Amino acid sequence: MSRFFWVRHGPTHANSMVGWSDIPADLSDAALIARVDAHLPQDALVISSDLIRAVDTATAIGGARRRLPHDRDLREIHFGAWELQRFNEVDDPAHIKRFWEEPGDVKAPDGESWNDLHVRVSAAAQRLIAAHPGRDIIAVAHFGAILSQVQTARGQTASEAFAQKIDNLSVTELHWTGDPAGPWRPHRVNHIP
C-alpha cells in the first residue's frame, strides 16, 4: 500500500483564477506550517508541482525528507485566456458558467478541461506509485489537482468532487491499495492539523 498525503500550497491571496501563473504563496503562518510538518510521516518522499507556490510550500513543510524533482503534471488546472481574471470579467459569461457548473469537458479558451486535469494528475500519481512502490508520498499541489484525486478515490462525479472544500495548507490522505475493485481509499480529506 502507498499513502498519498496531498497538501494544498499556502494561500496566494489572489482574487482571480490562478492556474499556471507563477505567483508566490504566503507562508507566514509558521505555527500551521509546523503542525502540517509534524502531522506528515517523516520517512515520506516529497514532491510538488513546479509552480513556486507549491515548491516553496514543499520546502517549508519538507524538513529532512527526501525531495523528488518537481512535476509540472501536478499543476493546477490551466485557465488559458481566463488566467488571473475574475469570474465576472470573462467575456463569455455563459461559457464560464458552464465551466464551473458542469465540470468535465468544458475548457477555457486555450486552457484545459476538468477531465484533462484529472487525466494529467492521475497519470502523475500512477508514475509515482510505479517508481516508489509502497512508499508514503507527500504531494504539494493545488485545489483542482487534489480534488481530481479525491474524485477518483471516492468514485464521484466531477460535480460532486468540485463541491468539496480544499483549504490552503490542508492535508488530504488517500491510500493506494491496488485493489481492482477500487484501488484508492479516501482516509481523510481537507484536514487542518
For 117-138, the pLDDT digits (tens) are: 999 999 999 999 999 999 999 9
Give me the pLDDT at residue 28, please.
97
Q: Report the number of distinct structural domains present in the chain.
A: 1
Q: What is the distance between the alpha carbons of residues 95 and 7, in angstroms, rounded to a whole number?
A: 30
Q: Is the pLDDT of residue 11 over 90?
A: yes
Residues with active-site annotation? 9, 76
Query: Which structural domain range is residue 35 located in?
Result: 2-191
Are 5 and 40 a contacting pair, CB within 8 Å? yes
Are 159 and 5 a contacting pair, CB within 8 Å? no
CA distances from 189 to 124, 141, 164, 170, 174 (A): 20, 14, 9, 8, 8
Q: Which H or E run contains 172?
A: strand 171-176
CATH number of domain containing 135: 3.40.50.1240
